[in-house]
Amino acid sequence: MATNKDTPVQIGVATAVGGMLESYASAERQKAAAIQQQTSYMVQARDTLALAEVRADMDEQYAAVQVGRTLQKAESEARNWQIAGNTLLRNMRKTNAALRARAAASGVALGSGSIEGVQLENVAATMRDLGVADLNALTARVLGFEDASALIQSTDLQNTLNLFAAQRGAGQFETAASAARRTGGMLSSFTLARGAYNLAKADPFGLSSPQKDPLETWRRTGSGGD
């Protein structure tokens, strides 16, 4: 009969303790989930920075290749203008030489008359064309250097902006990681506290209203005499 009377108490104790253990397990799961989420955010922050740095290195290498090609193209264009200038001088010499040969064959004085005027005009026209060719060669080099400088500056600026954006993104991931850890910790503490509250509220061991020993009370008050 005593066993049947004690069964509800034992069931209540087991239920209360089981609820507390379940709350503890839930709290630990919440902690683990928070740590896992925090780790995920930290990995994303690290990968964001690493990817931005790799992209910056690749952009710098590509820009260096493009700068080399730009300078080479400018130098090639300038050299073509120099060749054109040399061709003009060579043609001028050939033309003047042919004029002098025909004049000599005709018995005309080389330093007088129309022969001299034609030679002087030929030289003047060639010098004008040669000046234009030299100017174009110089312009090609200058524009090549300007394009190369602009490409380098643009790449550096873009890399700076990309790295800044990556750092901000990584900072947001780190902030989210800290928030996830704090939130998980608070939820874990709340779950554990709620389990403890439910255990105390159930009072399976009778701690809130302990039973007093009647014999001890009788002796303390002296109702039982000596």
Q: Note whether residue 189 is domain-resident.
A: yes
Q: Please give the pLDDT value at position 7.
A: 57
The pLDDT value recorded for residue 213 is: 47
Range in 12-21, 46-55, 60-69 the model is least confident about:
12-21
Percent of the chain with pLDDT over 70: 78
Q: What is the pLDDT of residue 177?
A: 82
Sign for the pseudo-dihedral over CA of 130, 133, 137, 142: positive
Indicate if the pLDDT at residue 219 is higher than 50. yes
Residue with the larger pLDDT of the pair 81 and 22 = 81
Cα 215 to chain centroid distance, Å, stands at 80
**161 in Cβ contact with 106 (< 8 Å):** no
DSSP per position, 167-181: HHHHHHHHHHHHHHH
- Mean pLDDT of the 75-98 span: 90
Region 43-62: mean pLDDT is 89
- The answer to whether residue 220 is domain-embedded is no
142 CB contacts (<8 Å, ≥6 apart)?
A: none
CATH number at residue 161: 1.10.287
Task: Give the chain's mean pLDDT.
Answer: 79
Residue 19: band (very low, low, confident or very high) from pLDDT cuts 50, 70, 90: confident
In a domain? residue 223: no
User: Which of 68, 70, 78 minimizes the C-alpha distance to 140?
Assistant: 78
d(CA 146, CA 10): 90
Of residues 225 and 43, more confidently modeled: 43
Model confidence at 135: pLDDT above 80 = yes
Please state which of the ranges 50-54, 146-150, 162-166, 212-216 shows the lowest mean pLDDT.
212-216
Number of domains, the chain: 1
Proportion of the chain in helix, strand, coil states, percent, rounded to 5: 90, 0, 10
Of 181 and 39, more confident: 39
Distance (Å, whole) CA 155 – CA 62? 9
- What percent of the chain stands above pLDDT 90? 20
In a domain, 216, yes or no: no
Q: How far is CA 200 from the centre of its chain?
A: 53
At residue 149, the pLDDT reads: 92
**Span 147-154, average pLDDT:** 91
Does 224 score more than 50 pLDDT? no
User: Given this model, what pLDDT does residue 76 score?
Assistant: 92
**pLDDT higher for 7 or 51?**
51
Q: Does a structural domain hold residue 182? A: yes
- Band the pLDDT of 96: cuts 50, 70, 90: confident
Inside any domain, residue 170: yes
Amino acid at site 148: A
Domain that holds residue 25: 12-203
Q: What is the mean pLDDT of residues 18-35?
A: 78
